[in-house]
A and B are shown apart, each in its own frame.
Chain A
């Protein structure tokens, strides 16, 4: 007997909708964590293959990375120094006791990637960030240390 295929097809469509809507809900939920401000350095304002976005490097991107191997998951512990948060230690174990830490992965080029290295901007506006004297990134940290960009502070003002 031929099995009805429409229910299976409906399940596949539902799966795709759940992935898209679930992705948004997960991102929104992850934005509710601790908020920190990181000092950034824009590196490359445009990649022709991926549209207009700013590649961000952070002062904490090289902090203690030389003591770990490529692929290692590390936690950089942060403390506020004025408005900007700065690194005070790095370890493969997440610090406890309510201390604030950001999760990253060491790359073969000796940097730590935190998953917040790209900031997508409306087409043609990348230069505003590229030419700014000071760029800071407001980041929310999930309980497991994963970071999400909330917004940018360009020359001290929120960039829209």
Chain B
């Protein structure tokens, strides 16, 4: 049943129940007829999911077909196929996107073209027997990613670009930090970049780049939360034998700090100050604080690192849920709830297992897991129901 028909049926029910007058029903129908996209918002998300799934299936199918005959094709033909596919998919996707009739399908095609471009870079490397862990390969893949996301206003392409960029950074970091033995040093540049992403995902959420901002915001929130979670373990501290911190690490953190401040300032100016913006600013500032702490004091006493990371993780979870509710972004609420559950369980295992016997600890963990799952599902439903009520209020 279509969303419009479902709405009609529900309105009819409400009218029969005496909740709506005939005038109100007429006003709602008039309002919805003038805003057909509002009714189809949920359907739009379905198209995005179906589009993404279709892209993955097509990519897998093409990869299978081509792989079966790949060895028999001359190198020039292989590269020609990849280049032609990149151009065809991206140009075709762009035309669909700009024409306005199939914007989501267009974005899916552009994303597929971008993924093929990355495969093509690795194909060239493989053809010439170059090592595939060369960091320049991922860097070249990353470079057009965020501009493409910006032009197509796509959070999905932005997330893909960020993931590729993080991969490139990881290979660089592995090389820079090879002579250094400090456990949390690698996390500092990632945390600083998470701050930039959080700043980019902040104030623009209500603007015309909402989808893009949501992608950046989610990437930043997920990165910062995962890093705080990892830094919240006792084992993340000590054990390192030290070594001179390579200049690349504080250099990257400095660049990211400047970028985060500039982006946050421009967002604040565009959206105007407010309680939510102040909270966004505090989260960006706190994320940068951890980046600098890990970059400059990698050998800190474990009590300091452990304590601050766990406190910050708790604050981050509260912010994720609050920000999700305020900005009507379900993904942030889900992320907060899931991270809370994982953190709770792993802390239980970390502290509880040592204190209980083997059988008892399994029983306890299983029971706790069930209880947490039930509580989380109820909490999540309540939060999402609250969001729906808020949305209805705003529409009224």
Contacts and interface: CB of A to CB of B under 8 A. Distances in A.
Decide whether A and B are members of one complex.
Answer: yes
A15 B129 contact: no
A96 interface: no
A115 B128 CA distance: 11
A4 to B, nearest CB: 10
A119 interface: yes
A20 B79 contact: yes
Contacts of A117: 131
Give the interface size class of chain A. Answer: 20 to 34
B140 interface: yes
Contacts of B391: none
A21 B144 contact: no
A118 B131 CA distance: 6
A6 B98 contact: yes
Given A5-B151, A8-B147, A23-B121, A16 B132 contact: no
Nearest to A137: B129
A86 to B, nearest CB: 22
Contacts of B82: 20
Given A20-B82, A108-B179, A9 B151 contact: yes
B71 A69 contact: no
A149 B129 contact: yes
Interface in A1-24: 5-6, 8-9, 12-13, 15-17, 19-21, 23-24
A103 interface: no
Contact of A115 (B117, B130, B151): B130
B372 to A, nearest CB: 34
Contact of B144 (A5, A15, A51): A15
Interface in B242-270: none
A19 B116 CA distance: 13
B120 interface: yes
Contact of A16 (B86, B98, B175): B86
Main SS class of interface, A: mixed
Given A17-B83, A20-B117, A117-B131, A71 B178 contact: yes
A27 interface: yes
29 contacts: A5-B151, A6-B94, A8-B147, A8-B151, A12-B144, A12-B147, A12-B151, A17-B87, A19-B121, A20-B82, A20-B117, A21-B83, A23-B124, A24-B79, A24-B124, A27-B124, A27-B130, A51-B126, A71-B175, A71-B179, A107-B178, A108-B178, A115-B130, A115-B131, A115-B134, A117-B131, A120-B127, A120-B129, A149-B129
Interface of B: 71, 79, 82-83, 86-87, 90-91, 94, 98, 117, 120-121, 124-132, 134, 140, 143-144, 147-148, 151, 175-176, 178-179
Closest 10 interchain pairs by CB? A122-B71, A27-B128, A23-B124, A149-B129, A70-B178, A16-B117, A12-B144, A20-B120, A120-B126, A70-B179
Given A17-B86, A19-B117, 12 more contacts: A12-B144, A12-B148, A19-B140, A24-B79, A24-B124, A27-B130, A50-B132, A71-B178, A113-B131, A115-B130, A123-B71, A148-B128
Interface of A: 5-6, 8-9, 12-13, 15-17, 19-21, 23-24, 27, 50-51, 53, 69-71, 107-108, 113, 115-120, 122-123, 148-149
